[in-house]
Amino acid sequence: AQSVSQHNHHVILSEAASLELGCNYSYGGTVNLFWYVQYPGQHLQLLLKYFSGDPLVKGIKGFEAEFIKSKFSFNLRKPSVQWSDTAEYFCAVNGARAAGNKLTFGGGTRVLVKP
């Protein structure tokens, strides 16, 4: 079975600070990895995804994530956050050969960016 762990439940930081959110997964085979964002009052949106190739993935709004296979990690980063980055962030994984390609989500990290 696959599982996803996000280390931080809440993060508070000021504008222009750098952000890094941890994500570790547990799955024995090839995986597809995702970061989703849920802005207040809005539905989940895909930030970025990793299927194969370059382990450093760039997404929308200046976000990037690095897949480190040896550490089973897929941490999300942004060098300089803005107030509009206040949201909840979810890491998700699906085993590339898992039946139905079901996504398993981490517990989420609430990020509050103070102006």
Partner 1 sequence: GAVVSQHPSRVICKSGTSVKIECRSLDFQATTMFWYRQFPKKSLMLMATSNEGSKATYEQGVEKDKFLINHASLTLSTLTVTSAHPEDSSFYICSARDLAGVTGELFFGEGSRLTVL
> Do the Cβ atoms of 5 and 24 come closer than 8 Å?
yes
Residue listed under structure tokens 């398993």: 104
Tokens read off for 68? 């480190």
Interface with partner 1, residue 96, by CB under 8 A: yes
Choose between 64 and 88: whose C-beta lies nearer to partner 1.
88
Choose between 45 and 80: whose C-beta lies nearer to partner 1.
45
Choose between 38 and 73: whose C-beta lies nearer to partner 1.
38
Please measure the distance between the N-terminal and C-terminal CA atoms of the chain and give it in whole angstroms: 41
* H helices, E strands: number in the chain: 0, 12
Binding mask 52-71 for partner 1 (x = CB under 8 A): --------------------
Q: Applying CB under 8 A, which of residues 29, 42, 54, 115 lies at the interface with partner 1?
A: 42
Distance CA 59, CA 72 (A): 20
Binding residues for partner 1 (CB under 8 A): 32, 34, 36, 42-46, 49, 51, 90, 94, 96, 100-108
